[in-house]
A and B are shown apart, each in its own frame.
Chain A
Amino acid sequence: MLRPPGDNPRTPRHLISAADLTRDDAVLILDTAEEMARVADRPIKKLPTLRGRTVVNLFFEDSTRTRISFEAAAKRLSADVINFSAKGSSVSKGESLKDTALTLEAMGADAVVIRHGASGAPYRLATSGWIDSAVVNAGDGTHEHPTQALLDAFTMRRRLVGPDAGIGRDLEGRRITIVGDILHSRVARSNVHLLHTLGAHVTLVAPPTLVPVGVEQWPCDVSYRLDDVLPKSDAVMMLRVQRERMNAAYFPTEREYSRRYGLDGERMARMPEHSIVMHPGPMVRGMEITAEVADSDRCTAVEQVANGVSTRMAVLYLLLGGSETALPSASARTEENK
């Protein structure tokens, strides 16, 4: 995504899939996010970098936390933010994605952050010639959620390598376990791509019903037994499991799922001392994670939210402000002195 237009034939100057990022792209984003995180520690958290630029949050699905995160990121970069909530599918609304896109283009959007229930909608938006804006995928169907993967990787690097020691580094050799509804998870897909690119070793853990046919081609291992994997994990990422899944026979009961794949205090105790528990939220306490684990020091769920803003700032900055020099520290001072 950081290559000039035309260099990356798939999606130049967009962020659609974590698979489009090279190792160097990803490390640059993480390094930039680290700089952005330091801004957040200042009394005045705002940078002038994207002043006069317009970022549209186009949300076809409800997702308050993701929208607010992008909104905070854009505002800290001084961009103008328009929130466009188009709940429900384009079909039920009557207006097509194309017409919505043309409307946003006419309003002068420089970037469109899109959350959509249909897999591939951001890709269509970026490649169909409907608009010229940069497109950021904020989650599409059961396809990808690349900024979530970036903020997860950022969180892992901070915790497992260190905020300063991590600069310029990837996640080489780290063992990451992702547990839960892999089949329906865009977070899992993006994480598998990105973590692999960053050199980590990924293991997916789920009942066989919640692993997609075709997963054998993914650059990761698959296990059906959580207890076998936990002692070898540097980070364990628990994914939300919707209770409705049991009605479609993905698993028999909530309790059975929880017994076999839920993370409780006893299981957490079998993880290595340094290892962390992650959750992209929203958590279903009592299902995939107990309150004891969720509220423990090893759980980074809240930290991930804070890191989400820094990471999204980095993405918007690199997509929209890439021609200027990065140096948020210098520009931050300018802002503070005014």
Chain B
Amino acid sequence: MSKILIRGAKVLGGEPQDVLIDGETVAQTGTGIDGGDATVIEAAGQILLPGLVDLHTHLREPGREDSETVLTGTRAAAVGGFTAVHAMANTFPVADTAGVVEQVWRLGRESGYCDVQPVGAVTVGLEGKQLAELGAMHDSAAGVKVFSDDGKCVDDAVIMRRALEYVKAFDGVVAQHAQEPRLTEGAQMNEGVVSAELGLGGWPAVAEESIIARDVLLAAHVGSRVHICHLSTAGSVEIIRWAKSKGWNVTAEVTPHHLLLTDELVRTYNPVYKVNPPLRTEADVMALREALADGTIDCVATDHAPHPHEDKDCEWAAAAMGMVGLETALSVVQQTMVDTGLLDWAGVADRMSFRPAAIGRLEGHGRPVSAGEPANLTLVDPAYRGAVDPAGFASRSRNTPYEGRELPGRVTHTFLRGRATVVDGKLA
């Protein structure tokens, strides 16, 4: 493989450096590097980050290839600066067997745009009743370490306890979609002032917080680690902060949309804002930003949830929940965290690469930008400003809440083990 010299980029936002990629690894970092016959990328003013890692992606294959495939989803991931994504298990059939997770893993390898680490279902068919063969999924070629019934909550306390205990055998983690089902029957949006006015069924914060409280206590009791998906309320932040203060092995993620958008947008009844957990209030948004900044929330995860046009071009109640997010995640994080001064670029590298890779026990990703490390890298132009145009998405779906909205920053290059998957903002 050829050599690539990235010249003058601010590594993790620090002083400008040169970074030489040789083959699949970073060969050298420093100043004034002579790359010889290397392809040179002039990167003055740009930020060089470790390749981003998403703990929470819906690639929809197998089963809903009309909304996304592993290929289109990994292309979208590359455009967004990701070099690894965790593919959620709520496919058709559900990824609850070694066969399905191996299929998704193999499709990811064939795509070549981004590593795909399948997530295995906790229970058979996401039904919450019987544990799926977690060990078989771990022992498969896919090497599953993260298990989740995402889309549904593992609400049975005994099943949750057993799952937490069982995955200790292979250092796995259960990622919980925290949603008390009885409190959210018919739920359409955040329960509060706006839902009262709009007459839409409320999704109360307590339905998320009560499950998180239970699960951190369970994890502490059995000495396991638990990961909480898409934290959305200020109360959830308080519980995680308390659990961490106890020294318990608890981690949490937040989505970009919960860092930026509020339930006021639902007043439009436009289902592009319909998502689960729902958009919350301004106070929640501020608490989530603060928690991500101080490390209470470990990482940003996209919850990229593609849906076909017809599932959003309808009345609110009939619409599907979810938003695409891979291609806008870094820009939203820049706007909400970096441009506000809450987090520097080293912090972004931590919350979008180092920590998610560590939580997922993902090898070869979330590594420092230094000699000998795999060349999984993302180059960002933070000065870029542009309106989001879904027509240009690499994802097969267009259900973004940011259409027409001006967001800062753009991924100019993404490297997966030394190979450019994105060049000058376009798929290579």
Contact = CB atoms under 8 A, between A and B. Distances in A.
B199 A144 contact: yes
A141 B186 CA distance: 12
A213 interface: yes
A123 B267 CA distance: 10
A85 to B, nearest CB: 17
Contact of A97 (B193, B268, B318): B318
Contact of B314 (A96, A186, A189): A96
Given A118-B318, A120-B316, A141-B317, A212 B200 contact: no
A156 B316 CA distance: 34
A135 B198 CA distance: 18
A78 interface: no
A214 B199 contact: no
A149 B196 CA distance: 18
Contact of B198 (A119, A216, A218): A119
Contacts of A127: 268-269
A142 B204 contact: no
B336 interface: no
A218 B195 CA distance: 12
Interface in B115-142: none
A96 B193 CA distance: 29
Contacts of B318: 89-91, 96-97, 118
B310 interface: yes
A143 B189 CA distance: 13
Contacts of B199: 119-120, 140-144, 186, 189
B194 interface: yes
Interface residues of B, number: 23
A213 B202 contact: yes
- Chain A: interface size category: 20 to 34
B262 to A, nearest CB: 14
A116 interface: yes
A116 B316 CA distance: 12
A137 to B, nearest CB: 11
Contacts of A217: 193, 196-197
B314 A119 contact: no
A239 to B, nearest CB: 14
Contacts of A82: none
A218 B192 CA distance: 12
Interface string B200-218: 1010100000000000000
Given A96-B310, A213-B202, A90 B315 contact: yes
A269 interface: no
B110 interface: no
Contacts of A144: 199
A291 interface: no
Contacts of A140: 199
Nearest to A215: B196
7 contacts: A90-B315, A97-B314, A120-B315, A120-B317, A186-B199, A213-B191, A214-B195
Given A123-B268, A124-B314, A217-B197, 19 more contacts: A96-B310, A96-B313, A96-B314, A98-B314, A118-B316, A118-B318, A119-B199, A119-B316, A121-B317, A123-B269, A124-B315, A127-B268, A141-B199, A143-B200, A212-B196, A213-B204, A217-B196, A218-B196, A218-B197
Interface of B: 188, 191-200, 202, 204, 268-270, 310, 313-318
